[in-house]
Structure 1
Amino acid sequence: MPEFDLTRVALPTGVELDVAVAGRPANPPIILLHGFPESHWTWRHQIGDFAKDHFVLAPDQRGFAKSSKPWGVENYTPDKPLADLIALADRYGIDRFTLAGHDWGGAIAWMAALNHPGRVARLIIVNAPHPFIFQKTLFDDMAQRRASQYITDWRDPGFEKQVDRLGLSEFFDEHFTRYADFEKVRGDKTIYLDQWGRPGAVTAMLNWYRATPLRVPAMDATPERPAFLNRPFPPVKMPTLVIWGMDDKSMLPVQLEGLDSLVPDLTIDRLEGVGHFATWEAPARVTGAMRGWLDARRHTIP
């Protein structure tokens, strides 16, 4: 069982986050951001390993697990967890750091790289699409559009009633069976059900989808394209590693096409036979990819 402490951290953004803290503060910092519908537990296999020679922070982001769950969709727009991230780094006196994100955590990591390039020294993304490519493929790639229709379902204000009727246990089974190797997370079911069963947790987690400006056209729709798709998009300037489980059924491999034009210093590690939840489906491969890439750049960036 992984061993690390959870620390309750009050941030000036108005939320309190539980944060897995591991390693010596004097070591190089790395911040790990989880996605939906998880918590710091997403990184349970990586936290202890990186604590050997890094200072590790892995927060339960707002709305998840026991962290604060502010009421209202407006409290989950992407700028809010982005502000939490920067405030968390400030709270620990961290200026520049390696940032890793999976799923929604990866979306926030992309935003941090684009909006706070002076803070993010190195970027690691695990199965989280670049914002430009994701929005573009939702208009231009019908397979990705089809795979993303669940977002429209989860934005429905009545979706919580469906979860209630199904029950959290069945929702767990259905979600992980559809998108990942269920057998590899079966033993963690009790942990996830406890986190999802917290008052307001399901709504708070779903509010991340409701608050995003991402447009998901219906399969038979031909809506007007967002204007930013027709303009140059700013590059991600720091060294970036993208680890991709190639069997991901929600974020298809098309998300890797053209990525090198938006991320000049890009390394892609494709994990064949691995699904969306790569950090626990193939923990050794993910940790090895992260470590190998970071070790090769250990002396290149302060």
Structure 2
Amino acid sequence: MGIIRKVVTFFILRVVSLCLTIPIILRVLYQRWKIGPSFFYVKPRPSPPPILNDRKWGTHSYVTLKSQGIKLHYVEAGDRNKPLILCVHGFPECWFSWRNQLQEFSSKYWVVAVDLRGYGSSDKPAGRSSYQVDNMIEDLRQLVGALGKEKCILMAHDWGAVLAWRLVIQYPDLFTAHISMNGPHPGAFGKHLNSSFKQIRMSWYIYFFQMPWVPELIFRAQDLATLTQMYRGPKNDVDTYPDEVIEAYKYYFSQDGAFTPPINYYRNIDFADRTTKIPKVKVPTLIVWGTEDMALDRRLADMGAEECVFAQVKYVEGATHWVQQDNPKVVNKLVWEFLNSDEWISAF
């Protein structure tokens, strides 16, 4: 039955992906005809913009995970002798999405914001199989030890949060606390996707990303205009995401082939896996959720909490999917309250 399920799922997935892709391609061809050859032009960005090298965020460093055969880039702030907060970004992001948290928590913690494999200045191994979930989980597990720590606080967003959920499930002794931001628990997401048409509609891009090369082409159109639209949203929030911030992301994703590794994360999703039983999360967990997320239903926050031995859910009203960037003051306050609380400490 397992093989039959995989085959059926494969064909259904391809049909859905094709149905989504055809109108997108037609729209792109029309725009290309209307705008001309400049439609697919991406401005060369050989050097990082000044904002990425601003020392107020922290210091750029690298670590090589020899058994993984990969070098990861990270930005660190604070005293290395203090407890570690490891920050893991999502799609399409990099260490820079944690800039406000690097500044905020470095007074009491050693804060490390890593570029996942395939992102930013970290290595980008070739091939779709390099971006299977188990590879990234092992990267992060080994990274904690490579940074000289036996335990850490894990703070993650979006795809980084998906990996973080699996990390705290598989290696609970490695983490003293877990902070998840707009990133669904894998079991909760699977259940919700099977029962909620709203979430299926919101997740359309996951199916679109299963197509080869077309998603990459769309992202690069009009000098990466999609990145601007994603961050600023329908309200065109220029105040939160000024040109210099958008340009930081555009620098990384304007490089040749930069979108393929991140999209390969989606291409390795096992849509046929419906049998794996996931144990309860034992690590104390804070779930922070922006209420205006256009990709993930807010119900996923409470559903994730139900999968934990101890969890708090805090909604940030008006914040979008990019919650820690949209409203860093509120998010940082919630994180401080959680880390300084005796409630979860006494529960364990």
Say which one has the larger Rg: 2
1:9 aligns with 2:66: no
Cα distance between partner residues in 1 of 2:326 and 2:162: 20
1:40-189 → structure 2 map (5 Å cutoff): 40-159=95-214, 160-164=216-220, 166-178=221-233, 182-183=237-238, 184-187=240-243, 188-189=245-246
Q: Which of residues 270, 274, 281 in structure 2 aligns to 1:226?
A: 274
Cα distance between partner residues in 1 of 2:84 and 2:343: 12
Distance 1:297 1:7, change over 3 A: farther
1:25 aligns with 2:80: yes
Q: State the match for 2:331 in structure 1.
A: 286
Instruction: Please report how far the alpha carbon of residue 49 of structure 1 lies from its aligned counterpart in structure 2 after TM superposition.
Output: 1.3
Cα distance between partner residues in 2 of 1:113 and 1:179: 35
| 1:256 alignment partner AA | A
| 1:100 alignment partner AA | M
| 1:209 alignment partner AA | Y
% same residue = 27
Q: Report SS of the residue matched to 1:118.
A: helix
Q: State the match for 1:35 in structure 2.
A: 90
User: TM-score under structure 2 normalisation?
Assistant: 0.78
Q: Report SS of the residue matched to 1:155.
A: coil
Q: Which of residues 259, 262, 286 in structure 2 aligns to 1:205?
A: 262
Q: Which of residues 246, 249, 257 in structure 1 aligns to 2:291?
A: 246
Please say if residues 181 and 275 of structure 1, whose CA atoms lie closer than 8 Å, have aligned partners that are also in contact.
no
Q: Which of residues 288, 296, 302 in structure 1 aligns to 2:341?
A: 296
Please say if residues 224 and 254 of structure 2, whose CA atoms lie closer than 8 Å, have aligned partners that are also in contact.
no
Cα distance between partner residues in 2 of 1:75 and 1:51: 33
Q: Report SS of the residue matched to 2:334.
A: helix
Residue deviations 1:209-232, cap 9 Å, x none? 1112246xxxxxxxxx8234xxx5
In structure 1, list runs of 5 or more residues that go unmatched.
216-224
Cα distance between partner residues in 2 of 1:245 and 1:77: 27
Residue deviations 1:56-97, cap 9 Å, x none? 111111011121110111111111111111111111211111
Please say if residues 66 and 198 of structure 1, whose CA atoms lie closer than 8 Å, have aligned partners that are also in contact.
no
1:262 aligns with 2:307: yes
Cα distance between partner residues in 1 of 2:304 and 2:222: 39
Please say if residues 91 and 262 of structure 2, whose CA atoms lie closer than 8 Å, have aligned partners that are also in contact.
yes
Distance 1:171 1:259, change over 3 A: closer
Instruction: Please report how far the alpha carbon of residue 136 of structure 1 lies from its aligned counterpart in structure 2 after TM superposition.
Output: 0.9
Residue deviations 1:147-171, cap 9 Å, x none? 001111122103223334x234312
Cα distance between partner residues in 2 of 1:154 and 1:70: 19
Q: State the match for 2:23 in structure 1.
A: none
In structure 2, list runs of 5 or more residues that go unmatched.
1-53
| 1:95 alignment partner AA | E
Cα distance between partner residues in 2 of 1:92 and 1:298: 29
Instruction: Please report how far the alpha carbon of residue 238 of structure 1 lies from its aligned counterpart in structure 2 after TM superposition.
Output: 1.3
Aligned residues: 289
Q: Tell me the C-alpha RMSD between the 2 structures.
A: 2.1
Q: State the match for 2:47 in structure 1.
A: none
Cα distance between partner residues in 2 of 1:226 and 1:88: 30
Residue deviations 1:230-259, cap 9 Å, x none? xx5310011100000011110111212433
Please say if residues 181 and 281 of structure 1, whose CA atoms lie closer than 8 Å, have aligned partners that are also in contact.
no
Higher helix share: 2
Q: Report SS of the residue matched to 1:30.
A: strand
